[in-house]
Chain A
Amino acid sequence: AQSVSQHNHHVILSEAASLELGCNYSYGGTVNLFWYVQYPGQHLQLLLKYFSGDPLVKGIKGFEAEFIKSKFSFNLRKPSVQWSDTAEYFCAVNPGGGADGLTFGKGTHLIIQP
């Protein structure tokens, strides 16, 4: 079965700092990749997704992620974070054509200090 690893469970940054959250997955075949965000008191929202094509994908609120197949990685980046980016971030994988639902990482709790 596939698994997803998010290396940083808690990240604290100051406003305007750059952000990179790591995500690695274990699955040898074609995958669909997602980043979801859960703001305090709100439900999971889709940040961005990768199905195929350009490995650099752009999402909402200035986030982007790069799929590196050789490294089985799908890291999330943002050049300059804001206080409103404080949230829990989840990386998720779904094998293309697979049948096991989304496999989520444990999440990264991001705190942005003003």
Chain B
Amino acid sequence: KAGVTQTPRYLIKTRGQQVTLSCSPISGHRSVSWYQQTPGQGLQFLFEYFSETQRNKGNFPGRFSGRQFSNSRSEMNVSTLELGDSALYLCASSEGPHTDTQYFGPGTRLTVL
């Protein structure tokens, strides 16, 4: 099976802009989670989607949002970008909701200038 794929792999934006990142889960997986990885804060949970519904959300401002489509693909959006949003954004998929084993994609490296 193909692994989790994320597009784009690299992105450069300026402050105030918005960005949309995409994630395609492993075939058959219905749950998608998003994480932010930075050198200072490490890996932090953003949110999880299962069957097109957001099941839970981490401690991030409302500028961070996401959605999941009927084919389980997911997108996350960050509006009004700030310098501190520069990070590696990781997507993980699992067969079921949050207690299942999560498999990670390669990430999207977002740089905000």
Contacts and interface: CB of A to CB of B under 8 A. Distances in A.
A99 B106 contact: no
A12 to B, nearest CB: 20
Given A49-B101, A97-B99, A101-B98, A43 B45 contact: no
A11 to B, nearest CB: 17
Given A32-B99, A43-B105, A100 B43 contact: no
B35 A101 contact: yes
Nearest to B91: A43
A104 B98 contact: no
Interface residues of B, number: 23
Interface in B57-102: 58, 90, 92, 98-99, 101-102
A25 B6 CA distance: 30
A94 B42 contact: no
Query: Chain A CB within 10 Å — which of B45, B48, B98 has the most?
Result: B98
Given A43-B107, A90-B43, A106-B42, A99 B55 contact: yes
B56 interface: yes
B81 to A, nearest CB: 23
Most buried by B among A46, A100, A105: A100
Contact of B42 (A44, A45, A99, A105): A105
Interface string B13-40: 0000000000000000000010100000
Interface centre among B43, B44, B104 (most CB of A within 10 A): B43
A16 B90 CA distance: 33
Given A43-B106, A44-B90, A102 B33 contact: yes
- Which 8 A-B pairs have CB atoms at the shortest separation, nearest pair first? A101-B45, A104-B43, A44-B104, A99-B56, A43-B106, A106-B42, A43-B104, A101-B33
Interface of A: 32, 34, 36, 42-46, 49, 90, 92, 94, 96-107
Interface of B: 33, 35, 42-48, 55-56, 58, 90, 92, 98-99, 101-107
